[in-house]
Structure 1
């Protein structure tokens, strides 16, 4: 990690968490879309030390951060290992510490539609929804299950229509928006499988893949 990212009060920053094992063009595409669609000033990638819901650990954190920085080269995007610095493993705990460390900064949590489908399994998921806006980026084949998920139903009244997505980052939580967008076909699991010689067809992009 190269120190703490700089942010000032009022700045709108999207947070994209995941193992990034490895980072690829799909993550880059999603980030670029999020910057535009949700009215964000910056996006921080939070490369996680490990996913509590995954049985097998990822590649070493330093290697994944270095590879992610090589892949994601954009003046408004910062690749970080903040969760290792904060010593957090769960999204809610990470957000609590970031909100305390950066008072006045308007954070937006970014996730894929697949994560919205099982968002109610994350630790303190209602706290997350009640404290930061959530931007959901649709990927192929996940539209229906995401729209029918428990989180979508419980927070139905807090959903912003697509045409208001640019105001999400400035909205008062709870607020979330579901954006349909063309997605890249790359997936981290398919890239790892190809590297190991396994015959796995690349599916749609696993966006954050944190499940927590």
Structure 2
């Protein structure tokens, strides 16, 4: 199985952006590039999931989403991977635990939009995520206020890094998280599916 997984060497700081990517779009690209700059990441891996446990409907076939993501991203610093399908994990905390065993010495940073931070307390084993890996949060339009009032934010208020220290996030000991505001592309996979318009997945 190992030859099917991304390569990383000890000491690298790698951001992990998980999701169904159904479909991938320019918003994902924008978040990725802003996160690399903000948090001083060596690389970012898009973890294209087999399915989202919080969503009732299943996504498009995995290979279709992987192909679309590779065509869209086109950045040598970004790896598109279906590692969760190979690991057999569906819950983010379990994926992270397995990856820490597979990649000793690699420093992972879990990346998310502010909208996901607002609902993080609904995720399975969400406290385990916060306790075991630094978390980088990139603000999206309309989500800043709700995210700042989120249960996860209140629970880990003392673990927040100041924005001036954001490039140290990958070297921080969990729990540690940082919230950055960046100019955002206001687009979502949900909107694209609703319009039946995959043209938004082109370019980047």
TM range (shorter): over 0.9
Correspondence 1:23-102 to 2 at 5 A: 23-102=24-103
Correspondence 1:188-207 to 2 at 5 A: 188-195=189-196
Structure 1 vs Structure 2 CA RMSD: 1.4
Please name the residue that 1:21 is paired with: 22
Q: Across the two proteins, how many residue pairs are aligned to each other?
A: 197
Please name the residue that 2:167 is paired with: 166
What is the CA–CA distance in structure 2 between the aligned matches of 1:189 and 1:147, rounded to whole Å? 23
Per-residue CA deviations over 1:11-61 (Å, capped at 9, x if unaligned) read 100000000011011100110001010110000000000011111111000
Once the 2 structures are TM-superposed, how far is the Cα of residue 185 of structure 1 from its aligned partner?
A: 2.0
Structure 2 alignment gaps of length 5 or more: none
Correspondence 1:100-119 to 2 at 5 A: 100-119=101-120
Displaced runs of 4+ in structure 1, greater than 4 A? none
**What is the TM-score when the length of structure 1 is the normalising length?**
0.90
Structure 1 alignment gaps of length 5 or more: 197-201, 203-212
Which has the larger helix fraction?
Answer: 2
CA contact (8 A) 2:27 2:188 kept: yes
The answer to whether 1:150 aligns with 2:151 is: yes
Once the 2 structures are TM-superposed, how far is the Cα of residue 78 of structure 1 from its aligned partner?
A: 0.1
**What is the TM-score when the length of structure 2 is the normalising length?**
0.93
Please name the residue that 1:131 is paired with: 132
Secondary structure of 1:128's counterpart equals helix
